[in-house]
């Protein structure tokens, strides 16, 4: 359960201080405000988000205590693209920004679909492998059934000395 007491405990771990006044100072609020957050279980989202940015820690970790997968290191081309996007967003241009956001949403959707396709391909390969294994098992069982039929069929063994309908 998400509680302000747990979140402030994580803040305390990051700053390596436990006093309420130190935690409050780090979050830029009066110690009484920090105490009220605890008693009311009020979560100051913006203050916490700013804290994570200043300290370069995961906002997800601060809230949940769980470490999520870290993004892959960015290559130079990706870094340049990210800087260009930041620059455009900082311009606050009323036509360019909505267009960029729409395109980013489409790109994000494309990336999600690509990930889903790759996952589907992995699952497909796994199913094909299982299918091949099952086919081998079916072939083995088929040969065993043929042998059992052969053993249980007297004609196949030549057990009868005469054919029906012929007397010599």
pLDDT at residue number 65: 86
Instruction: Name the packing angle between helices 4-15 and 31-40 (round to 10°).
Output: 140
Q: Could you read off the pLDDT of 72-101 as tens digits, one per residue?
A: 556 778 778 888 888 888 888 888 888 888
Domain with CATH 1.10.260 in the chain: 4-64
Q: Which CATH class is domain 4-64?
A: mainly alpha
pLDDT at residue number 158: 55
Residue 168 has pLDDT above 50, yes or no: no
Q: Could you read off the pLDDT of 25-64 as tens digits, one per residue?
A: 999 999 999 899 989 988 899 999 999 998 888 888 898 8
What are the φ/ψ torsions at residue 74 (nearest 5 degrees)? -90, 140
Cβ atoms < 10 Å from Cβ of 87: 9
- Cα separation of 42 and 62, whole Å? 15
- Cα separation of 144 and 150, whole Å? 10
pLDDT at residue number 71: 57
Strands of the chain, DSSP E: none
């Amino acid at each position: 359960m998400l509680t302000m007491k747990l979140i402030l405990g994580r803040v305390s771990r990051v700053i390596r201080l436990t006093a309420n006044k130190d935690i409050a100072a780090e979050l830029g609020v009066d110690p009484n405000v920090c105490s009220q957050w605890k008693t009311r279980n009020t979560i100051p989202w913006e203050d916490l988000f700013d804290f994570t940015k200043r300290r370069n820690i995961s906002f997800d970790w601060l809230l949940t205590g769980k470490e999520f997968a870290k993004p892959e290191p960015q290559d130079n081309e990706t870094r340049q693209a990210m800087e260009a996007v930041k620059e455009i967003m900082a311009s606050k241009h009323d036509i360019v920004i909505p267009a960029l956001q729409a395109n980013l949403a489409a790109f994000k959707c494309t990336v999600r679909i690509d990930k889903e396709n790759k996952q589907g391909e992995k699952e497909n390969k796994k199913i094909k492998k299982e299918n091949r294994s099952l086919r081998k098992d079916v072939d083995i069982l088929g040969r065993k059934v043929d042998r059992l039929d052969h053993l249980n069929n007297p004609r196949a063994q030549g057990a009868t000395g005469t054919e029906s309908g012929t007397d010599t």
